[in-house]
Chains A and B, each alone.
Chain A
Amino acid sequence: MSLQPLDPRTAEIFPMAARHLLGDTQLRKNVRHATDVIQNKRRIVVDEMPDWQELRESGKRLREHTMQHLREYLEQFERNCTAAGGVVHWARDAAEARQIVVSLAKSAGAKEVIKIKSMTTEEIQLNPALAAAGIRPYETDLAELIIQLGHDQPSHIVVPALHKNRQQIREIFRREMNLPDLGPSPQDLADAARLFLREKFLTVPTAVSGANFLIAETGGVCVVESEGNGRMCLTLPDTLITIAGIDKVIPRYEDLGVLLQLLPRSATGERMNPYNSIWTGVHPGDGPKAFHVILMDNARTSILADAEGRQTLNCIRCGACQNACPVYRQTGGHAYGSVYAGPIGAILTPQLMQMEHAQSLPYASSLCGACYEVCPVKINIPEVLIHLRNKVVKEKSWADPEAIALKTVASIFRSERRFRAAQRLGRIAERPLVRKDGQGDGWISWLPGLLGGWTQVRDLQSMPKESFREWWEKRAETKGGSDV
């Protein structure tokens, strides 16, 4: 499969994209299996924590506090990072961020760069920009390597190749690494990736990373990972370029005490990540000689300005909401047309697009609340989804069929008389559609227009002869009404 970069500006609307993906039986099996495995691991390490709910509350308060003082903490980070020998750059949007990375890589003389898994670089489509400037990016995270070699796109923010199974990964490695005899075991695949990447670590002197957290108090940057490939990228090259959304800042070093409990347990079901790297500026004879951080806005301040939407920025990118989401579990991530898929993507992507694109995403949810329940920083995702739906509706034309239908229904509900009339009318209107089959009063198996989605796999029982209120009134008339 070869996919264009996930771009909300050109992506199909969610219901259409989902329709295609629902037909991919392999993908659906892979996604179901992987999300089940991660959810079960998460459940075990969350249930063992007696203070998990208090931790979530602390995480939420910490993120809210940070967003309220975002400017001060960012400036504090800039001062401390600069004092430690780092160079801080500010990027207004994706284009500026790309341009800064490309020019830094060029001035380092890079023909190749090694990369740590970073959703922010996916968000700004950095790899195509590097390639266009003659710089070849190598993904070093195992999942990102699978995606890159498979000419694929990430479908999950923590486990980007979650939609691929081991056999498919083996095929990609056999083909792209030219290893016709590659074995099928996890060990075989990990060995192949190790050999492939080790050479890059030892020869490519420029690295690009994302960040999990930017520590204002120290100017340090934190990256957590499971493989150690990130640690290689952070320590071996001469030049390290880190790109982070401005929402990644945290006030103090000790705040990691809360966040590094919440994040790994929520993300991968681990008590702690195997590799927790924190680096601060540059140090002679140890690690990169040049360190750059790009602090990118890319619509985050516009999200911050929206009182109801701003909790979206509290996200620490654990992906627990994706694993828990019954919609994501059916479609996988590509249906969302954005590197941010699942519930968090459904609220983040339209806001990053300033509501000009991805307007179908706030509706890609049954509002079941499973996402809110698992969110380690208690983002009320259903509440934000509803808020964004309202923004979508406000932009609708008066002639929109859905708007006309819902406004008509609302006017019916505003009057008891109209409501009664509509109930009677409904019983008459449905008559041509009702079929008797001996089970109950009768069933409808075909509905027109928008409602046709219901009857594609579901029947609908016909309306009863009498509404509840009609029965109630009749009962009152017959006085006493003892026989219910």
Chain B
Amino acid sequence: MRISLFITCYNDTLFPDTGKAVVRVLERLGHTVVFPAGQTCCGQMHYNTGYQKEAMPLLERFVAQFRDADAVVVPSSSCVAMMKDHYPKMAEEIGRPDLIRDVAELLPKIFEFSELLTRRLGLDDVGAYYPHRVTYHASCHGLRNLNLGDGPLRLLKAVRGIDLVPIANVEQCCGFGGTFAVKNAEVSSAMLAEKTTAVLNTGAEACTACDNSCLMHIQGALHRQRTGVRTIHLAEILASTEEGRA
């Protein structure tokens, strides 16, 4: 299948290894990955902070870039949730009939990375090898907005060599929340303290998730405290094989 990658602005800039891992997994599975060059950002930060007007052109740009895609993969559940929850309403507000139609046709073809594997491609085992103790953080948008359910866990369980340990209070937010982390830094820090405690209590050496935004937040505290626990995007675990790490 020809799969278009929407890398997202922050993965492009800060976490290119996640993008490389997505490409590696999908090509290993025999698919062709394309990368529309004009893509930038889905508009989530602006929309969720109250800058709806600024998010509108970003919706138009996204649709123009991906309109003709067969399937779109996005290694970020919060960006996918942004599109699924808000794009139809935003398109209505812009009021262009062609845009409203394009959004309606495009949305069902957009998948968060783990969702693409489990729901669109029907896979649990993608042939990965990762001999480490790992815990999975279910990001809020993946859990509640996309209803990813046990999809990501099924993918992880099929990884050879992995020692997967459950985290306490898996449904609890890590406290990132986009601009919340700086606008309400103190409360965000308090929430993060609970999450890092839960991560440390698992004894895992790595915490994984479908969202680098949560992971950047969790990793920020794990590193500040020199805990010796790292974070890694799910795609990077799945890209790892006995022959080589992503």
Binding site for B on A (CB under 8 A): 14-15, 18-19, 22, 326-327, 330-331, 362-370, 372-373, 383, 386, 388-393, 403, 406-407, 409-410, 412-416, 419, 423, 426, 439, 443, 445, 450-454, 456-461, 463-464, 466-472, 484
Given A389-B48, A443-B223, A484-B23, A367 and B178 contact (CB-CB distance below 8 Å): yes
Q: Tell me the B209-225 residues at the A interface (CB within 8 Å).
A: 216-217, 219-221, 223-224
- Choose from B27, B177, B189, B216 the contact partner of A461 (Cβ within 8 Å): B216
Whether B50 lies near A393 (C-beta < 8 A) is yes
Query: Chain A: which residue is nearest B185 at the CB level?
Result: A453
- 4 smallest beta-carbon distances between A and B, as pairs: A366-B177, A453-B185, A458-B220, A389-B50
Given A389-B50, A406-B49, A451-B182, A366 and B38 contact (CB-CB distance below 8 Å): no
Whether A468 lies near B20 (C-beta < 8 A) is yes
Given A365-B177, A413-B41, A464-B16, A407 and B184 contact (CB-CB distance below 8 Å): no
Whether B152 is near chain A, meaning CB under 8 Å from some CB there, is: no
Whether B173 is near chain A, meaning CB under 8 Å from some CB there, is: yes
Chain A residues lying within 8 Å of B58, measured Cβ to Cβ, are 410, 413-414
| Cα distance A458–B191 in the bound complex, in angstroms | 13
What 0/1 pattern do residues 155 to 182 of B give for CB contact below 8 A with A? 0000000000000000111011111111
| Cα distance A471–B20 in the bound complex, in angstroms | 8
Whether B11 is near chain A, meaning CB under 8 Å from some CB there, is: yes
Whether A423 lies near B13 (C-beta < 8 A) is yes
A-B contact pairs, 9 of them (CB 8 A): A367-B180, A386-B50, A393-B49, A412-B40, A413-B43, A416-B38, A463-B13, A464-B14, A468-B7
Whether A410 lies near B184 (C-beta < 8 A) is no
Chain A residues lying within 8 Å of B239, measured Cβ to Cβ, are 484
Chain A residues lying within 8 Å of B54, measured Cβ to Cβ, are 406-407, 410
Q: How many positions in chain B have a CB within 8 Å of any CB in the partner chain? A: 71
What 0/1 pattern do residues 36 to 66 of B give for CB contact below 8 A with A? 0111110101111111101101100100000
- Choose from A372, A410, A470 the contact partner of B144 (Cβ within 8 Å): A372
Query: Chain B: which residue is nearest A28 at the CB level?
Result: B190
Whether A456 lies near B187 (C-beta < 8 A) is no
Whether B220 lies near A331 (C-beta < 8 A) is no
Chain B residues lying within 8 Å of A460, measured Cβ to Cβ, are 216, 220
Given A366-B177, A366-B191, A458-B221, A373 and B50 contact (CB-CB distance below 8 Å): no
Whether B79 is near chain A, meaning CB under 8 Å from some CB there, is: no
Whether A326 lies near B191 (C-beta < 8 A) is yes
Whether B187 lies near A414 (C-beta < 8 A) is no
Whether B48 lies near A386 (C-beta < 8 A) is yes
| Cα distance A294–B185 in the bound complex, in angstroms | 42
Query: Chain B: which residue is nearest A457 at the CB level?
Result: B189
Chain A residues lying within 8 Å of B9, measured Cβ to Cβ, are 413, 419
Whether A469 lies near B24 (C-beta < 8 A) is no
Whether B175 lies near A373 (C-beta < 8 A) is no
A235: shortest Cβ distance to chain B, in Å?
43
- Choose from B43, B50, B176, B189 the contact partner of A366 (Cβ within 8 Å): B176
Chain B residues lying within 8 Å of A416, measured Cβ to Cβ, are 37-40
- Choose from A392, A439, A454 the contact partner of B50 (Cβ within 8 Å): A392
Whether B185 lies near A466 (C-beta < 8 A) is no
B181: shortest Cβ distance to chain A, in Å?
6
Whether B186 is near chain A, meaning CB under 8 Å from some CB there, is: yes
Whether B199 is near chain A, meaning CB under 8 Å from some CB there, is: no
Whether A369 lies near B144 (C-beta < 8 A) is yes
Chain B residues lying within 8 Å of A330, measured Cβ to Cβ, are 187, 190-191
| Cα distance A365–B184 in the bound complex, in angstroms | 9
Query: Chain A: which residue is nearest B181 at the CB level?
Result: A454
Chain A residues lying within 8 Å of B57, measured Cβ to Cβ, are 410, 414
Max chain B CB contacts within 10 Å: which of A327, A383, A409, A458?
A458
B185: shortest Cβ distance to chain A, in Å?
3
| Cα distance A358–B51 in the bound complex, in angstroms | 19
Whether B192 is near chain A, meaning CB under 8 Å from some CB there, is: yes
| Cα distance A130–B19 in the bound complex, in angstroms | 65
Whether A484 lies near B20 (C-beta < 8 A) is yes
Whether A389 lies near B49 (C-beta < 8 A) is yes
- Choose from A409, A461, A469 the contact partner of B37 (Cβ within 8 Å): A469
Chain B residues lying within 8 Å of A456, measured Cβ to Cβ, are 185-186, 189
| Cα distance A423–B35 in the bound complex, in angstroms | 18
Whether A366 lies near B180 (C-beta < 8 A) is yes
Chain A residues lying within 8 Å of B140, measured Cβ to Cβ, are 366-370
| Cα distance A17–B108 in the bound complex, in angstroms | 43
Given A366-B175, A413-B40, A461 and B219 contact (CB-CB distance below 8 Å): yes
What 0/1 pattern do residues 1 to 39 of B give for CB contact below 8 A with A? 000000101011111110110011001000000010111
Query: Chain A: which residue is nearest B231 at the CB level?
Result: A461
Whether A326 lies near B192 (C-beta < 8 A) is no
B105: shortest Cβ distance to chain A, in Å?
23
Query: Chain B: which residue is nearest A403 at the CB level?
Result: B51
Query: Chain A: which residue is nearest B176 at the CB level?
Result: A366
Whether B192 lies near A457 (C-beta < 8 A) is yes
- Choose from B47, B145, B220 the contact partner of A369 (Cβ within 8 Å): B145
| Cα distance A22–B35 in the bound complex, in angstroms | 45
- Choose from A370, A372, A390, A468 the contact partner of B173 (Cβ within 8 Å): A370
| Cα distance A396–B17 in the bound complex, in angstroms | 38
Chain B residues lying within 8 Å of A463, measured Cβ to Cβ, are 13-14
Query: Chain A: which residue is nearest B51 at the CB level?
Result: A406
Whether B96 is near chain A, meaning CB under 8 Å from some CB there, is: no
Chain A residues lying within 8 Å of B15, measured Cβ to Cβ, are 464, 468
Whether A365 lies near B180 (C-beta < 8 A) is yes
Query: Chain A: which residue is nearest B39 at the CB level?
Result: A416
| Cα distance A484–B35 in the bound complex, in angstroms | 15
Given A406-B49, A410-B54, A461-B216, A454 and B7 contact (CB-CB distance below 8 Å): no
Chain A residues lying within 8 Å of B190, measured Cβ to Cβ, are 22, 330
Whether B118 is near chain A, meaning CB under 8 Å from some CB there, is: no
Query: Chain A: which residue is nearest B145 at the CB level?
Result: A369
Chain B residues lying within 8 Å of A468, measured Cβ to Cβ, are 7, 11-12, 15-16, 19-20
| Cα distance A372–B145 in the bound complex, in angstroms | 10
Chain A residues lying within 8 Å of B11, measured Cβ to Cβ, are 468
Given A457-B189, A458-B220, A484-B20, A18 and B61 contact (CB-CB distance below 8 Å): no
Whether B202 is near chain A, meaning CB under 8 Å from some CB there, is: no
Query: Chain B: which residue is nearest A415 at the CB level?
Result: B40
Chain B residues lying within 8 Å of A458, measured Cβ to Cβ, are 189, 192, 217, 220-221, 223-224
Query: Chain B: which residue is nearest A412 at the CB level?
Result: B40
